[in-house]
Structure 1
Amino acid sequence: MLADSEFFYQIYEMLLAHFGPRGWWPGESTWEIMVGAVLTQAVAWKNVEKAILNLKRAGLLELEAMCRAEEGKIAELIKPALYHRQKARKLKNLAGYVKERYGGNLELMFSQETKNLRGELLSLWGIGKETADSILLYAGEKPVFVIDAYTIRIFSRLGIVDQNTSYDMMQELMHRFLPSEVELYNEYHALLVALGANYCKKNNPICNLCPINNFCNYLKIQKENK
């Protein structure tokens, strides 16, 4: 299947019609969104919500408070998000970076050129491309399309990319065929997550209920093999 802007928009419109606006990323502050981007690594969002609530109740969901808090204390509070010791270290590193480089001023941080800021984030221990781009898009409102396993799985099943396509190649494709708009990138990524989590699952996908199954090469191959 040939990819073009019209195709990507069509997929977007069909997903939006099916799921409706996702209102993503949930968070009461810019820092909370950044914390959520770290905590959601390799875990369902419901677990992240529990961890964030624990941090709020302890008064540690503030950048300054997290800088002062002991790493072990943070780890205990975020246990529901799993890998809590590693994630506590990541959060401390991230908070320390914002404090030391930008005086704790997130507005100043996000006023930096996107490419340079992305490089800074990627230089931090435990911050990979997906986490850095989630911070840039959802917290910083930078036009950077976030790629995850759902994105690659869905578009590989649509026949647009190979299932082993790299993060960078998939992102380049989304940037090429979609206008550089924060709101569009935000909603589109959230819709892909909804599709991947509910229908286009890694094992036993629910193809008969998928809103874009008419475009799906995976479904056609499954039918041919029966």
Structure 2
Amino acid sequence: MSRSGYLLVYEKLMDFYGPQGWWPADTPFEMMIGSILVQNTSWRNVEKAFLKLRPYLEERTLYAMPVEELALLIRSSGFFNMKAKRIKAFLEWYERYDFHVSKVQQQDGKKLREELLSINGIGRETADVMLLYAFDHPVFVVDAYARRIFYRIGFNMPKAYDAFRGKVEEEVQGNLQFYNEFHALLVEHAKVHCKAKPICEGCPVFTFCDRRLD
């Protein structure tokens, strides 16, 4: 896989969709909570949860809130009892940095990722989303959309998360803004054209896509 392949996808998607301005949140803290709430559900359900959660969406307020009360507020996100426990575990970690995002941003990216992965319920994708969109560390986020799109185009990507991520980062060596936009563009493309049942007509990458649908 040549370096130009990933960049070509990025350029075609950027030309077609334009800058996405992600993550869809008003603050880094809202972004981090949203990255936990969106696990195993749609963003639409997360938005419903935020309608009830937003009046309490402050670090120390949620930190002091009983987990049972938090679970009721985020009920519409699904798996709400489990997610409430995950949010509380994340807050226990975040409290070590006095809930200051700037203090977290100063940490070494590799060390920070290890810390995030040690938190109950924070997997590789969620950790990388936080690293990219809240803590300003340039990483490529591997999600189901990236896997689907790259496979259909014809890229033979590793199955393991870190190997997939490493392959893209080694070839592209992009900056923070590049990875920010690339992830957002892949999500948008998966929603508009490269759906589970793809809409190939008008697709911006159609001319070089292998259209592997099996």
State the TM bucket, normalised to the shorter chain: over 0.9
Name 2:209's counterpart in structure 1: 216
Name 2:173's counterpart in structure 1: 179
Name 1:133's counterpart in structure 2: 128
CA distance in 2: counterparts of 1:179 and 1:172, whole angstroms: 10
8 Å CA contact 1:75, 1:84 repeated in 2: yes
1:73-129: CA deviations, max 9, x gaps?
111111121111111111111011111x22222211221100001000000110000
- List alignment gaps of at least 5 residues for structure 1: none
Within a 5 Å distance, the mapping from 1:76-95 to structure 2 comes to 76-95=72-91
Q: TM-score, normalised by structure 1?
A: 0.89
Within a 5 Å distance, the mapping from 1:63-142 to structure 2 comes to 63-99=59-95, 101-142=96-137
CA distance in 2: counterparts of 1:150 and 1:114, whole angstroms: 24
Q: Which of 164, 171, 177 is the equivalent residue of 1:170?
A: 164
8 Å CA contact 2:101, 2:134 repeated in 1: no
Name 1:158's counterpart in structure 2: 153
CA distance in 2: counterparts of 1:165 and 1:212, whole angstroms: 23
1:62 aligns with 2:58: yes
8 Å CA contact 1:55, 1:78 repeated in 2: yes
The AA in structure 1 aligned to 2:78 is L
Deviation at residue 48 of structure 1 after TM alignment? 1.1
Name 1:40's counterpart in structure 2: 38
Deviation at residue 216 of structure 1 after TM alignment? 1.4
Secondary structure of 1:205's aligned partner: coil
State the superposition RMSD in angstroms: 1.6
The AA in structure 2 aligned to 1:133 is D
Name 1:144's counterpart in structure 2: 139
| 210-219 vs 16-25, greater mean Cα deviation | 210-219
- List alignment gaps of at least 5 residues for structure 2: none
Deviation at residue 210 of structure 1 after TM alignment? 1.8
Name 2:195's counterpart in structure 1: 201
| Identical columns (%) | 38
Deviation at residue 195 of structure 1 after TM alignment? 1.1
CA distance in 2: counterparts of 1:48 and 1:71, whole angstroms: 18
Question: How many residue pairs were aligned?
Answer: 214
Moved over 3 A (4+): none
The AA in structure 2 aligned to 1:174 is V
Q: TM-score, normalised by structure 2?
A: 0.94
Deviation at residue 158 of structure 1 after TM alignment? 1.4
CA distance in 2: counterparts of 1:110 and 1:73, whole angstroms: 30
Secondary structure of 1:126's aligned partner: coil
8 Å CA contact 2:137, 2:176 repeated in 1: yes
